[in-house]
Amino acid sequence: MNTEPVISLIGVTKRIGRTNIIDDLTFDVPQGEIFGFLGPNGAGKTTTIRMIVGLMSITKGQILIKGKNIKTEFEQAIRHVGAIVESPEMYKYLSGYQNLVHYARMVPGVTKDRIDEVVSLVKLENRIHDKVKKYSLGMRQRLGVAQALLHRPSLLILDEPTNGLDPAGIRELRDYLRNLTRTEGITVVVSSHLLSEMELMCDRVAIIQRGKLVNVMPIQHFTQGDDQDQTYLIQAQPSEQALETIKNMDGVRRVNLVEDEKIEVTTDREQIPDILIGLMQNQVRIYGVQLVCQTLEDRFLEITEGGQIG
Amino acid sequence: MVNLVLNENMKIYRRLRTWILIGLMIAFVLFVNIMNWHFDGKSAQGKGWRTELQKEITQWNEVLKQPKLDKQTKKYYQQQIAINEYHLEQNIRSTEGTLWDGVNGSAGMMIVITIFTIIIVGDSVAGEFSSGTIKLLLIRPASRTKILVSKYISLLLFGILLLLTLFVVSVVINGILFGFGHMDLPLIKATAEGQVVESNMLLNLWKTYMLNSVSTVMYVSMAFMISSAFRSSAMAIGLSIVSLFAGNIVMQALQRFDWSKYLLFANTDLTQYLSGLPFQEGMTLSFSITVLIVYFTLFNLISWLIFTRRDVAS
Ligand SMILES: Nc1ncnc2c1ncn2[C@@H]1O[C@H](COP(=O)(O)OP(=O)(O)O)[C@@H](O)[C@H]1O
Ligand SMILES: [Mg+2]
């Protein structure tokens, strides 16, 4: 497998007027990954995507796609990219098929067979010769995906693709993206302001807030925290004594009584056996120990220090 | 590049709007020619061309007797008389009452071509922005320059299509009205030196078309520039058509200023050098061509700079 990142952003900054809407973004996405780009509305997701696909100029820094600079080697860089920026606006007075022919003509090597292939991929066979004017929102989204995949891109960029989709549609999209990364080794960058969607879809997530990168991490770390910082729920009696005991132990970051008999402890994973031994030695009866998975929501609020979402 | 032009053509001709304009063009040409035939052409056919020409000569001789005639006007009537006499001597009939009368007259409808082309031009770039399709158009391995050039080419092709429509429809309708005889009738005209010569009628017609096309191309470039600068179809179409009409009026007011000869509108009509009556004394064909080239370059340079540089943020 190729270890060179499919896309890398290096110190990317966008200044409009006197403010940096995007400020010093740096991250890489390796091949085959579904990379989430998460942030509240107005965080700068769309702006970043516009810079990646060359719709907007980059004030400072650079963006490389398969090693090609989007600014200086636009044509070589962009041929690896398929994208939907915000909603996929098509020529409404043309049929879906004519729209695809239009985009196919712009990239060398897209055959008629390939057009038919993507049409069946997005299940638009029956309506592809209708005018786009008559399409539903869902059909337009699918036609958008079709135009993005037409030229077999290595990198697929979707800006808030779940907007306007129902839960079934979102699930379909998710399975579909998984499939693409597995069978074709495609890399996907997908933006969203909805955490729950990212959680199910992505391998790694970058959080962006007010144009700044807050964090990049695998989705598991995201939901569970890392090994040094995990939260457990211990059911024990008498709880007063348990609380006292735990408070006096090493390596405990936080402890509090959440409700009767339930104590929440945040500590290093390695500390848990010692805590339990300590409790037993103090005649505390333990009924249950449970790792608390934070929801993405909690985690997000923690990381962005309460920055509001969506 | 060929593919890009095919794309732009698809976007022009797959729209109802375009066919309405072409239909209107045909309707206008038919209407004007049928009216012309109805009120004018029929009578000329009836009395015979010799009588008509003779009558004209007599009329013009009367005019020439007036004492206060300026040199230009005098020269003009003398030439016309010479041309008519040539017709009579050589037994070559006048275009009056033949299809050429209508066909040549229809060349005056090229302003309609300019207007209709401007309508399509104005929407060409601005329409991609207002519909949002520009985002998907510009993220392909085709540089913005190539996309802009292919748009420009497709728009010129549309203008050429309208011109061919004008030509074919005017020949066919006038052929039907006046008959297709006299197709090989020569054009009798006076040279700048006052000599009367014969030339090819069809060739002359296309020369007129080409000279008028210069102005069309200038207005197309102007509308194209406004379309890419302001991203507003209405503004591009409106401003261009207003300047097309207001241009001449404004120029008349400005004629007394020497600098007005550098304005675009003073130079778009190159037929002024055929008639030998330029906008200002001392203007030459090469002067006008130079001025036009400067404006042409300027318009297209601005379109290009704006289209290739600006952020797509809508
Ligand atoms: N053309 C522009 N001029 C000025 N500010 C802009 C422009 N485009 C976007 N912004 C600002 O940049 C920020 C990021 O916008 P955007 O990238 O659309 O966010 P997101 O897609 O994450 O919701 C917003 O605060 C927006 O107001
Ligand atoms: Mg957005």
pLDDT of residue A179: 85
A193 CA from centroid of ligand 2 (Å): 9
Is B139 an 8 Å CB contact of chain A?
Answer: yes
* Residue B168 included in any domain: yes
Q: Using the predicted structure, report yes or no on whether residue A307 has a pLDDT greater than 50.
A: no
pLDDT of residue A310: 38
- What mean pLDDT do residues A193-218 have? 84
Beta-carbon separation of B4 and A105 below 8 A: yes
CB-CB contact of A169 with A138 (8 Å): yes
> Which band of pLDDT confidence, cut at 50, 70 and 90, is reported for residue A201?
confident
- Which of A23, A47, A51, A189 for mutating ligand 1's site (highest number of atoms within 8 Å of CB)? A47
> Which band of pLDDT confidence, cut at 50, 70 and 90, is reported for residue A309?
very low
A contacts of B12 (beta carbons < 8 Å) = none
Mean per-residue pLDDT of chain A: 86
CATH architecture of A7-223: 3-Layer(aba) Sandwich (3.40)
Q: Which two tokens stand for residue A186?
A: 């495609």
Which protein residues have their CB within 5 A of the ion that is ligand 2? A 46
Q: Using the predicted structure, report yes or no on whether residue B47 has a pLDDT greater than 60.
A: no
Q: Using the predicted structure, report yes or no on whether residue B240 has a pLDDT greater than 80.
A: yes
* Residue B275 included in any domain: yes
Alpha carbon nearest to ligand 1 atom 18, residue:
A46
pLDDT of residue B17: 93
Q: Is B277 or A157 the better-scoring residue by pLDDT?
A: A157
B contacts of A102 (beta carbons < 8 Å) = 7, 10-11
Q: Which two tokens stand for residue A40?
A: 């509240």
CB-CB contact of A60 with A13 (8 Å): yes
> Which band of pLDDT confidence, cut at 50, 70 and 90, is reported for residue A308?
very low
Q: Is A88 or A156 the better-scoring residue by pLDDT?
A: A156
Is A106 an 8 Å CB contact of chain B?
Answer: yes
* Residue B166 included in any domain: yes
User: How many structural domains does chain B have?
Assistant: 1
Chain B residue closest in CA terms to A92: B131
Local structure of A212: helix, strand or coil: strand
Alpha carbon nearest to ligand 1 atom 4, residue:
A16
Alpha helices (runs of H) in chain B, residue ranges in sequence order:
2-13, 16-36, 42-47, 49-65, 71-90, 99-106, 110-131, 134-137, 144-178, 201-230, 233-254, 285-309
Q: Is B155 or A121 the better-scoring residue by pLDDT?
A: B155
A contacts of B4 (beta carbons < 8 Å) = 105-106
How close is the nearest chain A Cα to the Cα of B224, in Å? 20
Local structure of A209: helix, strand or coil: strand
Q: Which of B6, B135, B142 sits opposite A55 (nearest CB)?
A: B135
Is A157 an 8 Å CB contact of chain B?
Answer: no
Which among A273, A268, A270 is positioned nearest to A230, based on CA atoms?
A268
A226-293 maps to CATH 3.30.70.100: yes
pLDDT of residue A105: 95
A273 CA from centroid of ligand 1 (Å): 49
Nearest ligand for residue A42 CA = 1
B252 CA from centroid of ligand 1 (Å): 49
Beta-carbon separation of B132 and A54 below 8 A: no
DSSP A37-103: EE--TTSSHHHHHHHHTTSS--SEEEEEETTEETTTSHHHHHTTEEEE-SS----TTSBHHHHHHHH
> Which band of pLDDT confidence, cut at 50, 70 and 90, is reported for residue A227?
low
pLDDT of residue B287: 92
A contacts of B7 (beta carbons < 8 Å) = 102, 105-106
DSSP B214-270: HHHHHHHHHHHHHHHHH--HHHHHHHHHHHHHHHHHHHHHHTTSGGGGGSGGGTS-G
* Residue B241 included in any domain: yes
B contacts of A147 (beta carbons < 8 Å) = 136
B contacts of A76 (beta carbons < 8 Å) = 141
CB-CB contact of A254 with A281 (8 Å): no
pLDDT of residue A197: 76
Residue B149, burial from CB neighbour count under 10 angstroms (0-12, 13-18, 19+): middle
Q: Which of B2, B140, B312 to mutate to test the interface with A (most CBs of A within 10 A)?
A: B140
Beta-carbon separation of A79 and B141 below 8 A: yes
Q: Is B7 or B230 the better-scoring residue by pLDDT?
A: B7
Nearest ligand for residue B312 CA = 1
pLDDT of residue B64: 82
CB-CB contact of B227 with B233 (8 Å): yes
Q: Which of B6, B15, B138 sits opposite A105 (nearest CB)?
A: B6
Is A79 an 8 Å CB contact of chain B?
Answer: yes
d(CA B22, CA B28): 10
- What mean pLDDT do residues A223-245 have? 78
pLDDT of residue A215: 79
* Residue B250 included in any domain: yes
pLDDT of residue B107: 87
> Which band of pLDDT confidence, cut at 50, 70 and 90, is reported for residue A224?
low
Q: How many CB pairs under 8 A join A and B?
A: 76
d(CA B211, CA B207): 6
Beta-carbon separation of B312 and A55 below 8 A: yes
Q: What is the pLDDT of residues A271-293, one digit of tens each?
A: 888 888 888 888 888 888 888 76
Which among B152, B150, B155, B167 is positioned nearest to B201, based on CA atoms?
B167
> Which band of pLDDT confidence, cut at 50, 70 and 90, is reported for residue B283?
confident
How close is the nearest chain B Cα to the Cα of A232, in Å? 47
Beta-carbon separation of B139 and A83 below 8 A: yes
> Which band of pLDDT confidence, cut at 50, 70 and 90, is reported for residue B42?
low
Q: Strands A7-16 and A60-65, how do they pair?
A: antiparallel
The full set of domain ranges for chain A reads 7-223, 226-293
Domain that holds residue B253: 2-309
- What mean pLDDT do residues B137-146 have? 94
Beta-carbon separation of A106 and B138 below 8 A: no
Local structure of A124: helix, strand or coil: coil
Task: Calculate the alpha carbon distances from A27 to A35, A73, A204 in Å.
Answer: 11, 20, 11
Q: Is B67 or A223 the better-scoring residue by pLDDT?
A: B67
pLDDT of residue A76: 94
Q: Is A150 or A271 the better-scoring residue by pLDDT?
A: A150
ipTM field = 0.85
Residue type, A182: R
B contacts of A87 (beta carbons < 8 Å) = 132
- What mean pLDDT do residues A197-201 have? 79
pLDDT of residue B195: 80
> Which band of pLDDT confidence, cut at 50, 70 and 90, is reported for residue A2?
low
Beta-carbon separation of A57 and B142 below 8 A: no
> Which helix H or strand E contains A224, and what residues bound it?
helix A219-224
Residues in CB range of A20: below 8 A, 6 or more apart = A13, A14, A59, A211
Q: What is the pLDDT of residues A32-46, one digit of tens each?
A: 899 999 988 889 999
Of A131-135, A303-307, B85-89, the range with the lowest mean pLDDT is A303-307
- pTM of the predicted structure, to 2 decimals: 0.84
* Residue B314 included in any domain: no
pLDDT of residue A282: 87
Ligand 1 pocket list (CB less than 6 A): A 16, 21, 39, 41-47; B 313
A145 CA from centroid of ligand 2 (Å): 17
Q: What is the pLDDT of residues B288-297, one digit of tens each?
A: 999 999 999 9
> Which band of pLDDT confidence, cut at 50, 70 and 90, is reported for residue B44?
low
A63 CA from centroid of ligand 1 (Å): 19
